[in-house]
Amino acid sequence: MKGIAEIGFSQLLAAYVFLILLLVMASRQGIDKEKEIIVSALRMTFQLVLMGYVLVYILEFNSLLLSACTLFLMELFAVKNIYSRVKVEINPRLRRVIVFSMFTGTVTPLLYFLLAVINISPWYEARYFIPIAGMFIGNSMTGVSLGTERLIDSIKTKRELIEGALMLGATPKQAAKIAVNDAFTAAIMPTINSMVGMGIVFLPGMMTGQILSGISPLTAIKYQIAIMLGVLGSVSLTVFMLVRLGYKTFFNERAQLVG
Amino acid sequence: MFVLKNVRYKNILYIDHLVIPKGRITCITGESGSGKTTLLKLLNNLISSDSGEIFYMGKNMREIDPVQLRREVVLLPQTPVIFPGTIKDNLLIGRRFSERPPVGDDELSVLLEKTRLSKDLASSAAELSGGEKQRLALCRVLLMEPDALLLDEPTSALDNDTADLVMGLVANYARDKRKTIVMVTHSKELARIYGEKLVTINGGRIVHVEEVAE
């Protein structure tokens, strides 16, 4: 099998033609977004270059401690991203639930995946650990953002129904069930939907990468299927913990709906 | 059944002393915004007072499990709450929430007819009119057979005839089963007819209490 063709510096520059194309179109149409486009492209370039060097270092050292620290940082950025993506105010208890759900909901399936599915030695081999952790955390982050937003919104708009249930002697769990299920569905649907089009409408990035680097497509799809199921597990687990613990933050110790 | 002592809630309600007797119908009247609904919510512990004590059956409400209390003291809000599903689902949801066995379809139909709501149990509850929803919600809480029923303007969306009919049903229910009823109404007339104890609230304070002789 031949390895991937190296992209030279001038060839890489040639790829920026696409960016220039977009800028020209935007200014022709009077779409006032040039600044955002340039900033985004610069951020993309800078972040990836930085990540490239960091990854070279991490993969070379291949230490559990270093990988664990990287994982911790990724989780922190993901949580920060969730806080800023959710446009409504998140109560402090719900913020703690988000942190807890993200950490346990991604790390547990990650460990299972590395030990039982990939089964490599050492199990924390950075070449696997880091990218797989990235995919789990990234997808769970999207799920938790959607779930948090929907949970807050649903409890607000269904307030009458929830209080109506409480008046009839429902427990907070029974009363909030409608909002909890609503949030769970909204959060996992994108992941479910992405499975439908996979392989037909688009080739996932990871699989594309493996094929480009000369790996047999048959090996690549096995990885892709396993990863997709792992992502599904991680998203479901994080979102499930989020909604099942999260609804409680809207009730006080007298089982009254607050906030 | 309820005793309130020095109860304060925000700047809405100030009750120094109020006794609500067991097994009787207490009517609370007053202008809108006078704190009537807030009082009902306090009795159902949907909200807690900022200070003062409320005793239920001699026990301080703060020491009673709120969910258990709400299964014994059920509040019917002025705007009826309709859950997704059929009329039957809506009738039985109160018993389901309070973990009691469902009742048979015959009994449900008989009760509906008593409120002149002759509808198919399997039809969607969302399509009922305002007045029909109000009667449906009332039937739901009657089916729960709680020790105390807190009714917030239970006939506000009904015409006079239906209102009389429904009130008669509630009064009979209370008498037959020796249940406690606390009813908020803006109608002094309804209060006069059905109330055994009349409480008038104005600006969050009790301005008049009257026991009606049998």
Test B79 with A160 for CB contact under 8 angstroms: yes
Residues A79 and A137 in one domain: yes
Q: Domain boundary residue among A61, A82, A112?
A: A61
Give the integer Cα–Cα distance in Å for A4 and A22. Answer: 28
Q: Does B60 touch chain A (CB under 8 A)?
A: no
Give the integer Cα–Cα distance in Å for A164 and B93. Answer: 11
Q: Does B133 touch chain A (CB under 8 A)?
A: no
Pick the more confident residue, B65 or B190.
Answer: B65
Dump pLDDT digits (tens) for B117-145.
Answer: 989 999 999 999 999 999 999 999 999 99
Dump pLDDT digits (tens) for A11-59.
Answer: 999 999 999 999 999 999 998 888 999 999 999 999 999 999 999 999 9
Residues A69 and A53 in one domain: no
Residues A137 and A237 in one domain: yes
> Domain count of chain A?
2
A249 contacts: CB under 8 Å, gap ≥ 6: A91, A93, A94, A97
Residue A6 lies in a domain: yes
Query: What is the pLDDT, as a whole number, of residue B214?
Result: 62
Q: What are phi and psi of A155, to 5 degrees?
A: -65, -35
Give the integer Cα–Cα distance in Å for B184 and B29. Answer: 6
Dump pLDDT digits (tens) for A80-100.
Answer: 999 999 999 999 999 999 999
Q: In angstroms, what separates the C-alpha of B214 from chain A's closest C-alpha?
A: 31
| CATH, residue A144 | 1.20.1640
Mean pLDDT of chain A: 93
Mean pLDDT of chain B: 94
Residues A178 and A210 in one domain: yes
Residues A69 and A34 in one domain: no
Query: What is the pLDDT, as a whole number, of residue A2?
Result: 59
Six-digit token string for A95: 């913020």
Residue A257 lies in a domain: no
Q: Is the pLDDT of residue A259 over 80?
A: no
Residues A91 and A42 in one domain: no
pLDDT band at residue A6, thresholds of 50, 70 and 90?
A: confident
Closest in A160, A161, A170 to B97, CB measured: A170
Q: Does B147 touch chain A (CB under 8 A)?
A: no
Q: Is A125 exposed, middle or buried (0-12, 13-18, 19+ CB in 10 A)?
A: middle
Q: Domain boundary residue among A28, A43, A61?
A: A61
Residues A90 and A30 in one domain: no
Q: Name the interface residues of A facing B (CB cutoff 8 Å).
A: 160-161, 163-171, 174, 178, 254-256
pLDDT band at residue A118, thresholds of 50, 70 and 90?
A: very high
Q: Does B122 touch chain A (CB under 8 A)?
A: no
Residues A52 and A83 in one domain: no
Residue A220 lies in a domain: yes
Question: Given strand B73-76, what is the order of strands in its sheet?
Answer: B73-76, B148-152, B180-184, B25-30, B197-202, B205-211
Residue A49 lies in a domain: yes
Give the integer Cα–Cα distance in Å for A64 and B132. Answer: 66
A198-202, B110-114, B152-156: least confidently modelled range: A198-202
Dump pLDDT digits (tens) for A122-145.
Answer: 999 999 999 999 999 999 999 999
Residues A100 and A200 in one domain: yes
Complex-level ipTM beyond the 0.90 threshold: yes
Quick one: what percent of chain A has pLDDT higher than 70? Answer: 98
Give the integer Cα–Cα distance in Å for A235 and A213. Answer: 28
Closest in B74, B83, B84 to A167, CB measured: B74
Q: Which domains does chain B have, with CATH numbers?
A: 2-211 (3.40.50.300)
CA-to-CA dists, residue A242 to A45, A94, A148, A178, angstroms: 34, 8, 8, 15
Residue ranges making up the domain that contains A165:
63-250
Test A169 with B93 for CB contact under 8 angstroms: no
Residues A53 and A116 in one domain: no
What is the arithmetic mean of pLDDT over A108-131? 93
Residues from chain A contacting residue B68 (CB–CB below 8 Å)? 169
pLDDT band at residue A1, thresholds of 50, 70 and 90?
A: very low
Cα angle B149, B150, B156; round to 5: 115
Residues A136 and A229 in one domain: yes
Residue A256 lies in a domain: no
Six-digit token string for B100: 């009691």
pTM, two decimals, is 0.89
Give the integer Cα–Cα distance in Å for A147 and A142. Answer: 9
Q: Domain boundary residue among A18, A45, A61?
A: A61
User: By the 8 A CB rule, do B89 and B53 touch?
Assistant: no
User: By the 8 A CB rule, do B134 and B80 touch?
Assistant: yes
Residue A209 lies in a domain: yes
Residues A151 and A56 in one domain: no
Residues from chain B contacting residue A170 (CB–CB below 8 Å)? 67, 70, 97-98
B145-167 burial code (b ≥16 CB/10 A, e <16): bbbbbbbbbbbbbbeeebbebbb
Q: Does B78 touch chain A (CB under 8 A)?
A: no
Query: What single DSSP character describes residue A202?
Result: B
Q: What are phi and psi of B175, to 5 degrees?
A: -70, -50
Query: What single DSSP character describes residue B91?
Result: H
Give the integer Cα–Cα distance in Å for B145 and B140. Answer: 9
Dump pLDDT digits (tens) for B67-82.
Answer: 999 999 999 999 999 9
The count of CB pairs under 8 A between chains A and B is 61
Give the integer Cα–Cα distance in Å for B135 and B158. Answer: 9
Residue A154 lies in a domain: yes
Q: Is the pLDDT of residue B184 over 60?
A: yes
Dump pLDDT digits (tens) for B30-44.
Answer: 988 899 999 999 999
Query: What single DSSP character describes residue A257?
Result: B
Composition of chain B by helix, strand, coil, percent to 5: 40, 30, 35
Q: Is the pLDDT of residue B208 over 80?
A: yes
